[in-house]
Amino acid sequence: MNISIGNDHAGTNFKFNIIEHLENKKINIINHGTDSDSSVDYPDFVHPVVKDILNNKSMYGILICGSANGVAMTANKYSKIRAGICWNNDIVSLIRLHNNANILCIPARFTKLEDVLEMVDTFLTTEFEGGRHQNRINKITPY
């Protein structure tokens, strides 16, 4: 399984920890994020993650910035992308179960590392329920 990850300067530490965590599980990571804490523009790191998913290079994406709002807004401009902002494990479950999210957006300034690693595991192991939820997803991008 390939997972693409992108981050701005606020998410660098989390990214390195997530990569190590997933590589220990034998998951391949495609790193599109900055490796520095110097200020950068988050959209520059979102677009490559989204393109990996749309081009079937990665199954899922993980995006990290200070609030997660910027990365989520950028990713959700693309048709077929469903990026959800999550700050706890219950929300992660719901974005997979009900929304079939394909990108997890993490607010680095509002989460703790140990919670984030659990959230990543939940995101990657929770299956979409389908059914009535698929009908709703079909209405997200009506054109």
CATH of the domain at 63: 3.40.1400.10
Whole-number pLDDT of residue 141: 76
Question: Which of the four pLDDT bands, split at 50, 70 and 90, describes residue 110?
Answer: very high
Q: What angle do CA 69, 73, 76 make, to 5 degrees?
A: 135
First-last CA distance in the chain: 31
Question: Which of the four pLDDT bands, split at 50, 70 and 90, describes residue 143?
Answer: low
Q: Which two tokens stand for residue 123?
A: 């995101």
In-domain check, residue 101: yes
In this prediction the pTM is: 0.96
Answer yes or no: are the C-beta atoms of 24 and 18 closer than 8 Å.
no
Q: In what order do the strands lie in the sheet with 83-85?
A: 28-31, 2-7, 60-65, 103-107, 83-85
Distance between CA atoms of 10 and 90, rounded to whole angstroms? Answer: 23
Whole-number pLDDT of residue 142: 67
In-domain check, residue 143: no
Nearest alpha carbon to residue 105 among 78, 121, 87: 87
105 counts as catalytic:
no
In-domain check, residue 60: yes
H/E run at residue 52: helix 43-54
Residue 104's domain comprises 2-138
Q: What is the rounded average pLDDT of the residues 19-48?
A: 98
Of 9, 65, 86, 105, the catalytic one is: 65
Of 21, 47, 98, 133, the catalytic one is: 98
Q: How many domains, in total, are found in the chain? A: 1
Classify residue 86 by its DSSP letter.
-
32 counts as catalytic:
no
